[in-house]
Protein backbone atom coordinates (compact mmCIF):
# COMPACT_ATOMS: atom_id res chain seq x y z
CA UNK A 1 0.00 0.00 0.00
CA UNK A 2 1.08 3.58 -0.43
CA UNK A 3 1.01 5.55 2.77
CA UNK A 4 1.69 9.11 1.76
CA UNK A 5 2.28 12.44 3.40
CA UNK A 6 0.82 15.67 2.06
CA UNK A 7 1.15 19.35 2.85
CA UNK A 8 -2.11 21.16 3.52
CA UNK A 9 -2.38 24.92 4.06
CA UNK A 10 -5.36 26.79 5.42
CA UNK A 11 -4.73 30.01 3.50
CA UNK A 12 -5.05 33.51 5.04
CA UNK A 13 -8.72 33.78 3.97
CA UNK A 14 -9.56 30.48 5.65
CA UNK A 15 -7.49 31.26 8.74
CA UNK A 16 -8.98 34.72 9.26
CA UNK A 17 -12.50 33.35 8.82
CA UNK A 18 -11.88 30.79 11.56
CA UNK A 19 -12.07 27.81 9.21
CA UNK A 20 -8.97 25.96 10.41
CA UNK A 21 -11.07 23.78 12.72
CA UNK A 22 -13.51 22.92 9.94
CA UNK A 23 -10.65 21.91 7.62
CA UNK A 24 -9.05 19.82 10.38
CA UNK A 25 -12.43 18.21 11.10
CA UNK A 26 -12.80 17.13 7.49
CA UNK A 27 -9.24 15.76 7.36
CA UNK A 28 -9.79 13.77 10.55
CA UNK A 29 -13.28 12.62 9.52
CA UNK A 30 -11.74 11.24 6.32
CA UNK A 31 -9.36 9.24 8.50
CA UNK A 32 -6.07 10.93 7.70
CA UNK A 33 -3.60 11.36 10.52
CA UNK A 34 -2.41 14.79 11.66
CA UNK A 35 1.38 14.59 11.90
CA UNK A 36 2.28 18.23 12.55
CA UNK A 37 0.59 21.61 12.62
CA UNK A 38 1.96 25.12 12.69
CA UNK A 39 0.50 28.63 12.50
CA UNK A 40 2.76 31.16 10.78
CA UNK A 41 2.79 34.12 8.42
CA UNK A 42 4.91 32.85 5.54
CA UNK A 43 7.76 34.91 4.13
CA UNK A 44 7.80 35.85 0.47
CA UNK A 45 10.94 33.71 0.14
CA UNK A 46 9.07 30.60 1.35
CA UNK A 47 6.18 31.39 -0.96
CA UNK A 48 8.49 31.86 -3.93
CA UNK A 49 9.76 28.32 -3.35
CA UNK A 50 6.30 26.93 -2.63
CA UNK A 51 4.77 28.42 -5.79
CA UNK A 52 7.90 28.16 -7.99
CA UNK A 53 5.90 26.43 -10.76
CA UNK A 54 3.74 29.57 -11.10
CA UNK A 55 6.54 32.15 -11.22
CA UNK A 56 6.07 34.48 -14.19
CA UNK A 57 2.34 33.86 -14.49
CA UNK A 58 0.06 36.93 -14.22
CA UNK A 59 -1.43 35.76 -10.93
CA UNK A 60 1.91 34.99 -9.26
CA UNK A 61 2.52 38.36 -7.54
CA UNK A 62 -1.08 38.77 -6.31
CA UNK A 63 -0.93 35.18 -5.09
CA UNK A 64 2.26 35.78 -3.10
CA UNK A 65 0.88 39.09 -1.75
CA UNK A 66 -2.25 37.31 -0.58
CA UNK A 67 -0.44 34.34 0.94
CA UNK A 68 1.96 36.64 2.83
CA UNK A 69 -0.88 38.85 4.11
CA UNK A 70 -1.47 37.01 7.37
CA UNK A 71 -1.27 33.76 9.27
CA UNK A 72 -1.84 30.40 7.64
CA UNK A 73 -2.16 26.98 9.25
CA UNK A 74 0.32 24.51 7.80
CA UNK A 75 -0.69 20.90 8.34
CA UNK A 76 1.28 17.75 7.61
CA UNK A 77 -1.09 14.84 7.06
CA UNK A 78 -0.52 11.14 6.49
CA UNK A 79 -2.60 8.29 5.10
CA UNK A 80 -3.18 5.93 2.19
CA UNK A 81 -3.34 8.03 -1.01
CA UNK A 82 -3.87 11.16 1.08
CA UNK A 83 -2.35 13.42 -1.62
CA UNK A 84 -5.09 12.54 -4.10
CA UNK A 85 -7.59 12.20 -1.27
CA UNK A 86 -7.08 15.68 0.12
CA UNK A 87 -7.23 17.19 -3.39
CA UNK A 88 -10.59 15.51 -3.66
CA UNK A 89 -11.71 16.93 -0.30
CA UNK A 90 -10.48 20.40 -1.35
CA UNK A 91 -12.31 20.48 -4.69
CA UNK A 92 -11.56 22.42 -7.85
CA UNK A 93 -9.29 25.48 -7.80
CA UNK A 94 -12.10 27.94 -8.57
CA UNK A 95 -14.22 28.10 -5.40
CA UNK A 96 -17.26 29.39 -7.30
CA UNK A 97 -17.47 26.26 -9.42
CA UNK A 98 -15.93 23.76 -6.96
CA UNK A 99 -18.45 21.01 -6.21
CA UNK A 100 -20.66 21.33 -3.16
CA UNK A 101 -19.43 18.94 -0.50
CA UNK A 102 -15.83 19.98 -1.04
CA UNK A 103 -13.97 22.46 1.18
CA UNK A 104 -13.72 25.06 -1.58
CA UNK A 105 -17.24 24.35 -2.82
CA UNK A 106 -18.82 24.63 0.62
CA UNK A 107 -16.71 27.38 2.15
CA UNK A 108 -15.21 29.38 -0.72
CA UNK A 109 -16.58 31.82 -3.27
CA UNK A 110 -15.28 34.61 -5.49
CA UNK A 111 -14.79 37.63 -3.22
CA UNK A 112 -13.63 39.80 -6.11
CA UNK A 113 -10.12 38.33 -6.11
CA UNK A 114 -10.61 35.88 -8.96
CA UNK A 115 -9.75 32.38 -7.76
CA UNK A 116 -6.76 33.41 -5.63
CA UNK A 117 -8.60 33.13 -2.30
CA UNK A 118 -9.73 29.53 -2.20
CA UNK A 119 -9.35 28.55 1.46
CA UNK A 120 -6.87 25.69 1.19
CA UNK A 121 -3.79 24.34 -0.56
CA UNK A 122 -2.99 20.65 -0.98
CA UNK A 123 0.06 19.04 -2.56
CA UNK A 124 -0.71 17.73 -6.06
CA UNK A 125 1.82 14.87 -6.39
CA UNK A 126 4.32 12.86 -4.39
CA UNK A 127 7.13 15.02 -5.75
CA UNK A 128 5.33 18.25 -4.82
CA UNK A 129 4.52 16.90 -1.37
CA UNK A 130 8.15 16.04 -0.66
CA UNK A 131 9.32 19.44 -1.90
CA UNK A 132 6.63 21.37 0.01
CA UNK A 133 7.09 19.47 3.29
CA UNK A 134 10.78 20.42 3.12
CA UNK A 135 9.75 24.11 2.89
CA UNK A 136 7.09 24.14 5.63
CA UNK A 137 8.36 21.44 7.98
CA UNK A 138 12.12 21.24 7.31
CA UNK A 139 12.67 19.34 10.56
CA UNK A 140 10.30 16.48 9.60
Q: Is 54 a catalytic residue?
A: no
66 is an interface residue for ligand DAT by CB under 6 A: no
Contacts within 8 Å (CB) and 24+ apart, 131-139: 132/7, 132/50, 133/5, 133/7, 133/76, 135/46, 135/49, 135/50, 136/7, 136/9, 136/38, 136/46, 136/50, 136/74, 136/76, 137/7, 137/36, 137/38, 137/74, 137/76
Please say which residue, 20 or 123, places its beta carbon nearer to ligand DAT.
123
Considering only residues 101 through 140, tell me which ones interact with Mg ion, judged by CB under 5 A: 124
**String marking each residue 19-48 x if it binds Mg ion according to CB under 5 A:** ------------------------------
CB of 16 to ligand DAT, least distance (A): 17
Please say which residue, 2 or 125, places its beta carbon nearer to Mg ion.
125
Strands 72-80 vs 3-10: parallel, antiparallel or unpaired: antiparallel
- Contact residues for Mg ion, defined by CB under 5 A: 124
Residues that bind ligand DAT (CB under 6 A): 54, 59, 63, 93, 114-116, 118, 121, 124
Amino acid sequence: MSTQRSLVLVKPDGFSRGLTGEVLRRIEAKGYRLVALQILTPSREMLGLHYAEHEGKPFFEPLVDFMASGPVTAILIEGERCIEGFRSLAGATDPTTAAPGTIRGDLGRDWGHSVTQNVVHGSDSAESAEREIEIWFPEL
